[in-house]
Amino acid sequence: MAEESTATAPPELTVDVAGLTALLDGTYADVRRTVRELLPSYAGVLEDAETMSRDAFRERVKDVVLEIAGTGAAGMGFPKEYGGGGDIGASIAAFETLAYGDLSVLVKVGVQFGLFGGAILQLGTQRHHDAYLADVVSGRLLGCFAMTETGHGSNVQALGTVATYDAATAEFVVTTTSPEAGKDYIGNAAKHARVAVVFAQLEVGGEGHGVHALVVPLRDEDGALLPGVRIEDDGPKMGLNGVDNGRIWFDGVRVPREALLNRFADVTEDGTYVSEIESAGRRFFTMLGTLVQGRVSVGAAGVSASKAALTIAVRYGLQRRQFETGTEDGTEEGAEQLLLDYGLHQRRLFPRLARTYALHFAQEVLAGELHDVFSGVRDDEETRRLLESRAAGTKALATWHATDTVQECREACGGAGYLAVNRFAALKADTDVFTTFEGDNHVLLQLVGKGLLTDYASDFSDLDQLGMVRFVAGLAVDTVLERTRVHRLFEQIRDALPGGKDDWHADSGLRDPSYHLAMYRFREEHLIGGVARRLKRGVDAGMNPGEVFSRVQDHVIAAARAHVERLVLEAFVEKVASVPEDDGGLRLTLNLLCDLHALSGIEADRAWFIEHGRLTAQRSKAITREVGELCRRVRPLARELVDAFAVPEALLRAQALIGGEA
């Protein structure tokens, strides 16, 4: 844990931009640098998105994706024997950096290499790897990831597409059973995918075995649809119109038995279903858990979009002037004041800047855990479930942050921010869907809350929402709190306060990370306990479990969000502590941002803290004053703090907007 931060930001304190960039780039600095150097070559795609027809722009995006594939930047997570880099951590770093550029290109890269290729890699076995991966990595074979249906998105277990095994021919017959079972919003499907990984209910010998994935051809080499396959274009979208989303229906499409991606289950030629995982629920969640990279990637892309928006808005605020300030004695008119010198402007941008840094370091921790699991460094059941939960929660917070930050930055640039040339139009339109793809954020936080309440118990995978209600209701509330592990820390947290356990109301220690963490941990523990009590009280009163869950759903979301907020803050505090004290002022700079992030979060939720006795009105006002003071201390460093993101100049586009210097 970092020591109490000074956050003094004296006039002589400067930011070593190169040093801060290196700190942000971390382990994969070379990968990020390579992608940054690559991106300006494709800066013209940002303009093409505004000037080309939709069909022409889709072809342009496809060509760029194939060019990027040729550099190796898109395949870093695949095994080296198939042309990849053999490093999943490097692939996340590359994807995160690609998000500085056109987001249609980014999403098409994600569909091809993350979803389609990732499903074959993680769910398939040697025969699938040998058959497909080299062509996937090179871009010779374009594919899609056909999971979502018109009638089912988040509830994957209830998908309506069926794959029935025909033992007489050793084939699976893939069928769309109803209009609601049509695959929908499938990237790459409308024009370019020749093959799909299709998720379907597996039926063998009249018995259902739940959702499995199969490789199903869609088009021949000339692009013509194959028999039994029908595809429609989803049409214009709010954004990402360079991605060819489409709907797919299957009418008795036959694929060989070997098309089943059989890492976790298989069907023998005579029609026997076999799996080492006996529980259907655990098998399903194990399968989905291998695809967690998508959520990690989307969260990372959201953070990058926030960095681009903040870079433009801060630099605009350092150039644009508004209203005369007058001289100190009020006798003469003065020059117009820079926008960024106004306290309100600082209040709008700097807490979001600090939160972007916090989420960057939270993503760094998450990507490291992902790499460790998939490289086999730490790969046990509990570690995977904790990874899935952290990925779900971080993705939710990072993408909500992107939506909020892009909008605030657009407004902070006034009318100029409304012009497409200044990039906010594309950033707003293209990132908005991040909050709902790779999992709707509210559903993802329900997943986090479910894990907190059951402590990722051995029967966790078999519990749907109603099962979770019954499971929690069957325990004493104290047992539930004990299972969360937060309860066991609570007394330690209170004792860690600067003035001991009675210091919740004191005016000292506002910039002490022990105080910040104590507040965040108390909120988390209290909310989890509140959910457990409400669940138990409802069931004990004889209410239907479904109604009980519906009534406490908002509390589940609040508890899960508080949990992830605590993880984000811990990641930031730990990063500050890891920086040497004499490292060119970087530690002081990060301390300043960490304090601003933590106190802004407490200020934003001060009503809750006051309601629950953790803040007095006096201390709440003191925190508000402190946030304002921290914003003023950030002001002299603002340009360097956004320059450290190292968004390539050509990708900012807003040259008329940000061309000047502070």
pLDDT in tens, 281-316: 888 888 888 889 999 999 999 999 999 999 999 999
Higher pLDDT, 487 or 387: 387
- Residues 181 and 303 both lie in one domain: no
| Separation CA 467–CA 450 (nearest Å) | 10
pLDDT at 593 over 80: yes
The residue type of 60 is R
Percent of the chain with pLDDT over 70: 87
| CB-count exposure of residue 198 (10 Å: 0-12, 13-18, 19+) | buried
- Residues 130 and 177 both lie in one domain: no
- Residues 256 and 312 both lie in one domain: no
Beta bridge partners of 204: 207
The answer to whether position 18 is within a domain reads: no
Structure tokens at 283: 């098998």
Domain boundary at 91, 119, 138, which? Answer: 138
Mean pLDDT of 544-548: 81
| Separation CA 511–CA 148 (nearest Å) | 46
CB neighbour list of residue 248: distance below 8 Å, 6 or more residues apart? 146, 176, 182, 183, 186, 189, 196, 218, 229, 230, 231
Q: What is the CA radius of gyration of the chain?
A: 26
| Mean pLDDT, the chain, integer | 88
Domain boundary at 69, 104, 138, which? Answer: 138
pLDDT at 253 over 50: yes
The answer to whether position 10 is within a domain reads: no
| Separation CA 37–CA 485 (nearest Å) | 45
Higher pLDDT, 264 or 585: 264
- Residues 537 and 389 both lie in one domain: yes
Exposure string of 70-89, with b = 16+ CB inside 10 Å and e = fewer, is: eeebbbbbbeeebbbbebbb
pLDDT at 12: 57
**Is 438 one of the catalytic residues?**
yes
Q: DSSP string covering 214-227, please?
A: EEEE-B-TTSPBPT
**pLDDT (tens digit, 9 = 90+) per residue, 380-427?**
778 888 999 999 999 999 999 999 999 999 999 999 889 888 899 999
Percent of the chain with pLDDT over 90: 71
- Residues 150 and 132 both lie in one domain: no
Total domains in the fold of the chain: 3
3-state secondary structure (DSSP) of residue 377: coil
Q: Which H or E run contains 171? A: strand 171-175
**Strand 171-175 relative to strand 253-256: parallel, antiparallel, unpaired?**
antiparallel
Cβ count near 566 (within 10 Å): 21
- Residues 147 and 134 both lie in one domain: no
- Residues 443 and 398 both lie in one domain: yes
The answer to whether position 348 is within a domain reads: yes
Structure tokens at 270: 């005579």
**pLDDT (tens digit, 9 = 90+) per residue, 64-104?**
999 999 999 999 999 999 999 999 999 999 999 999 999 99
Exposure string of 447-473, with b = 16+ CB inside 10 Å and e = fewer, is: bbbbbbbbebeeebbebebebbbebbb
Cα dihedral sign, 328-331-336-342 = positive
Domain boundary at 114, 138, 162, which? Answer: 138
The answer to whether position 11 is within a domain reads: no
Mean pLDDT of 583-597: 92
Domain that holds residue 198: 143-280
The answer to whether position 230 is within a domain reads: yes
Cα dihedral sign, 496-499-500-505 = negative
pLDDT at 579 over 60: yes
- Residues 123 and 203 both lie in one domain: no
Q: pLDDT grade, residue 9 (50/70/90)? A: very low
pLDDT at 488 over 60: no
Catalytic residue among 364, 438, 565, 570: 438
CATH of the domain at 186: 2.40.110.10
Residue whose structure tokens are 């006034």: 414
| Separation CA 396–CA 383 (nearest Å) | 20
CATH of the domain at 111: 1.10.540.10
- Residues 485 and 587 both lie in one domain: yes
- Residues 112 and 250 both lie in one domain: no
Give the strands of the sheet with 229-233, arranged side by side: 183-186, 246-250, 229-233
| Separation CA 101–CA 32 (nearest Å) | 13
The answer to whether position 109 is within a domain reads: yes
Contact 314, 353 (CB under 8 A): yes
When mean pLDDT is compared across 26-30, 180-184, 374-378, the lowest value belongs to 374-378
| Separation CA 341–CA 636 (nearest Å) | 10
pLDDT at 263 over 50: yes
| Separation CA 361–CA 20 (nearest Å) | 13
The answer to whether position 660 is within a domain reads: no
The answer to whether position 19 is within a domain reads: no
**Strand 183-186 relative to strand 195-204: parallel, antiparallel, unpaired?**
unpaired
- Residues 444 and 511 both lie in one domain: yes
- Residues 263 and 355 both lie in one domain: no
For the ranges 345-349, 495-499, 535-539, the one whose mean pLDDT is highest: 345-349
Contact 563, 354 (CB under 8 A): no
CATH of the domain at 543: 1.20.140.10
